[in-house]
Structure 1
Amino acid sequence: MSLWLSGTLFFALGCFLAAMTLAIWRLFRGPTAQDRVMALDYFYVNGMLMILASGIVYASDAYFESALLISMFGFVSSSALAKFLLRGEVIE
């Protein structure tokens, strides 16, 4: 891996870490439940992107599979939380 690519990936990992820190801050400080749900969405997307960048750094396929699982579970949980906030129940 070239020096330029590895430097760029480590810079991206640092930016994703800063974004996750801001998402945690919004999660605990959010005035409404909708803000907290959006912070969780933001958190799992940044976590998935960090795992993908780590997969590029370490050249391993296991990172990409775990990122796929995180994205699927994150989408399902976001949908369930949105439905719960909208109607007050998840299972009809």
Structure 2
Amino acid sequence: TSDTLFHLLKGSLGTGILAMPQAFMNAGYVLGFIGTFVIGFLCTYCIRLLIKSEYELCKRRRVPSMTYEATAKAAVLEGPKWLRPIAPAVP
């Protein structure tokens, strides 16, 4: 929906958008555009990875959906054995 798109844009851009003119002034147009696309790609990749992880953890736990916090905790609990002891500290 449009609300989802708005929240995604707001979360990705945030107040950092106010620093874009200064960043372009320091980096130049070419490097600024390249950097913007690289960061945009990385953000998109990370969001996609988070959604795929949440989907896989929902299937494993047989729940319809999970919050971000529940996804993080489940990922730590089902992750590598050396990481599992810190699961109680994950919100």
Please, what TM-score do these two structures have when normalized by structure 1?
0.38
Larger radius of gyration: 2
